[in-house]
Amino acid sequence: MGMRTKTILCIGAGYVGGPTMAMVARQCPEYRVLVVDVDAARVHAWQSGEPPIYEPGLKELVAVSLNRNLFFSTDVAAGIAEADIIFVSVNTPTKTFGRGAGRAADLQYWEKTARQILAHARRDVIVVEKSTLPVRTAEAMERILRDSPADVGFEVLSNPEFLAEGTAVRDLENPDRVLIGGHDSASGRRAIEALIEIYAHWVPRERILTTNVWSSELSKLAANAFLAQRISSINSLSAICEATEANISEVSRAIGMDSRIGPRFLNASVGFGGSCFKKDILNLVYLCDHYGLGEVARYWEQVVLMNEYQEDRFVRKIVATMFNTVAGKRIAIFGASFKADTGDIRESPALRVCHALIEERAIVVVTDPQGLLNARRELAIYGDRVLFEDDPYAAACGAHAIALVTEWESFRTLDYQRIYAKMEKPAFVFDGRNCLDHAALYALGFNVLPVGQKSLIHQ
Ligand code: UDX
Ligand code: ADP
């Protein structure tokens, strides 16, 4: 048998598909890696070597393999026809209509992909679920693929991605674990081995974990639910801290030193954002309700409700502190993206904060090093009630308050004396990430309101 170059196809060139395939292409030079997407502008950006998403180290990673063994295209059908392994990482947003609206996953893109695979596959193929999907989606995929007219064999695996935005390249290079869910049949085990073979190019075998399909699907939801739960837990305590003399940073440190709890993901904040946490928990909630597990559903739902409470509490504090009115006042929003080092604004707390302040008739001025383009698009509905500034100094000029919602390093190192001089007085800083030097700001004349810590107010 001649050695044919194996083709790995990825459908969906977004935040997950693009970086993941760039890493696979670099680590596995003997495979041809093709990434397809229906969004021509996105594909063009990847092809030109300027990724359509901002992610530290990504451009360099793509450059290593681009047009060597890494290719991007809009021709989904042709890609499927050539593929030996197909990763599916199309988007699965929360349903906005019909049954399960606001909670269940909208699987229309995903099902469309399954049918495209069925129509165009020419040889036996392994289909790998990369997008986070509700438990038992693989089974639905299998049922669609079972009716293959071309007598093509399909094996479906679940291989959820755990990368976090902002650290995607590092996470892909050195993952805590790679999880592969597959069936315990001869062809299932062969498919699992084929996928292990790819990851084993750079991931130590002991970190590659295999489970059954449903455990893998559920583990992804569970990991995100646990992480989000930690943030909601610490945020709930930040409210107690603000009501008492306790300090949330001291509490985080004290509990994080318990090796059973651990120090990470205990930073109190204005709230968590991102495309995954809320969506995945709501998926979990929907699943629990579906199986009649109401108490379990309500337990996890509370993580999302607590997050919304925290975001709203942040805004209430702004309004209450600024003499119960922000109408007509300019407020600089430092940060649009949902965390530092990404331009992604999906579910960003900045959006909810902006919506609420605009409702209160404030003049909102948003600044962000990477997320401004996305923010402009998302907030366009407000017309001239919201402004955008690349330069944080310009954003704060003439403002009554700064609300910091994203922990960009560049916000820490600004010249706050210069900013203070150009602001209306009294000048307020609401630090939604506890990332600024509060004592120094207070000394400059600012009134400083952190999360879960004592406010520093000039009398
Ligand atoms: C998350 C998971 O971490 C990742 O494994 C999964 O694949 C996708 O979802 P991501 O959403 O990209 O990744 O970022 P993450 O670092 O988890 O942050 C999520 C949100 O929580 C951000 O808004 C972040 O600012 C916030 N956060 C995080 C806190 O408010 N406090 C913390 O201590 C940590
Ligand atoms: P994620 O964060 O999960 O990667 P994104 O929204 O960034 O999600 O990326 C998903 C990508 O999948 C988008 O670029 C979208 O255009 C693409 N996509 C959705 N449906 C299809 C489809 N049927 N065929 C090809 N690409 C698709």
Hey, what are 61's tokens? 């990673």
Annotation marks residue 435 as catalytic:
no
Per the domain annotation, does 255 fall within a domain?
yes
> Last residue of some domain: 172, 195, 211?
211
Q: What is the pLDDT of residue 177?
A: 98
Residue 397 CA to residue 400 CA, distance in Å, equals 9
**Are 97 and 157 members of one domain?**
yes
Residue 333 CA to residue 348 CA, distance in Å, equals 12
Measured by CA distance, the residue closest to atom 26 of ligand 1 is 272
Q: What is the pLDDT of residue 3?
A: 72
Residue 398 CA to residue 300 CA, distance in Å, equals 43
| Helix segments in 200-293, DSSP class H | 213-243, 248-256, 277-290
Measured by CA distance, the residue closest to atom 27 of ligand 1 is 272
**Are 205 and 233 members of one domain?**
no
Element (H, E) at 10: strand 7-11
Identify which has the larger pLDDT, 47 or 98.
47
Per the domain annotation, does 455 fall within a domain?
yes
* 2 has pLDDT over 60: no
**Are 426 and 321 members of one domain?**
yes
> Last residue of some domain: 186, 211, 236?
211
Q: What's the domain range around 426?
A: 212-459
Residue 72 CA to residue 42 CA, distance in Å, equals 9
Per the domain annotation, does 1 fall within a domain?
no
**Are 233 and 368 members of one domain?**
yes
How many domains, the chain? 2
Q: Is beta strand 363-367 parallel, antiparallel or unpaired with respect to 386-388? A: parallel
Residue 232 CA to residue 302 CA, distance in Å, equals 9
Q: How far away, in angstroms, is 13 Cα from ligand 2 center?
A: 6
* CA-based torsion, 131, 134, 138, 140: positive or negative: negative
**Are 194 and 262 members of one domain?**
no
Q: Which residues pair with residue 447 across a beta bridge?
A: 428
Contact assessment for residue 400 and residue 330, using Cβ atoms and an 8 Å cutoff: yes
Report which DSSP code applies to 451: S
Closest CA to 322 of 428, 234, 437: 428
In Å, what is the CA distance from 274 to each residue of 88, 166, 340, 346, 400? 20, 11, 11, 5, 29
Mean pLDDT for the stretch of residues 190-195: 98
Mean pLDDT for the stretch of residues 319-348: 97
**Are 117 and 179 members of one domain?**
yes
* 98 has pLDDT over 90: no
Query: From the CB of 311, is ligand 1 less than 6 Å away?
Result: no
Per the domain annotation, does 234 fall within a domain?
yes
* 1 has pLDDT over 60: no
- Shortest-distance atom of ligand 1 to CA 223: 5
Position 298: which residue type?
R
Hey, what are 350's tokens? 């900045």
Query: From the CB of 374, is ligand 1 less than 6 Å away?
Result: no
* 451 has pLDDT over 90: yes
Mean pLDDT for the stretch of residues 265-280: 96
**Are 186 and 287 members of one domain?**
no
Per the domain annotation, does 2 fall within a domain?
no
**Are 229 and 94 members of one domain?**
no
Q: How far away, in angstroms, is 164 Cα from ligand 1 center?
A: 7
CATH number at residue 21: 3.40.50.720
Q: What is the pLDDT of residue 217?
A: 92
* 106 has pLDDT over 90: no
Provide the CB-side half-sphere exposure for 103 (13 A, CA).
15
* 140 has pLDDT over 60: yes
The residues, any chain, with a CB within 8 Å of residue 347's CB and separated by 6 or more, are 273, 274, 275, 277, 278, 279, 338
Position 315: which residue type?
V
* 53 has pLDDT over 70: yes
**Are 85 and 24 members of one domain?**
yes
pTM value surpassing 0.75 = yes
Mean per-residue pLDDT of the chain: 95
Lowest mean pLDDT among 134-148, 178-192, 394-408: 134-148
> Last residue of some domain: 157, 191, 211?
211
**Are 184 and 240 members of one domain?**
no
**Are 410 and 290 members of one domain?**
yes
Per-residue pLDDT tens digits for 214-256: 999 999 999 999 999 999 999 999 999 999 999 999 999 999 9
Helix (H, G, I), strand (E, B) or coil at 18: helix
Query: Which ligand number lies closest to the CA of residue 77?
Result: 2
**Are 51 and 132 members of one domain?**
yes
Q: What is the pLDDT of residue 105?
A: 75
Per the domain annotation, does 163 fall within a domain?
yes
Per the domain annotation, does 355 fall within a domain?
yes
Query: From the CB of 172, is ligand 1 less than 6 Å away?
Result: no
Lowest mean pLDDT among 5-9, 36-40, 127-131, 250-254: 127-131
* 402 has pLDDT over 80: yes
Q: What is the pLDDT of residue 198?
A: 98
Identify which has the larger pLDDT, 334 or 4.
334
Per the domain annotation, does 31 fall within a domain?
yes
Query: From the CB of 338, is ligand 1 less than 6 Å away?
Result: yes
10, 28, 241, 276: the catalytic one is: 276
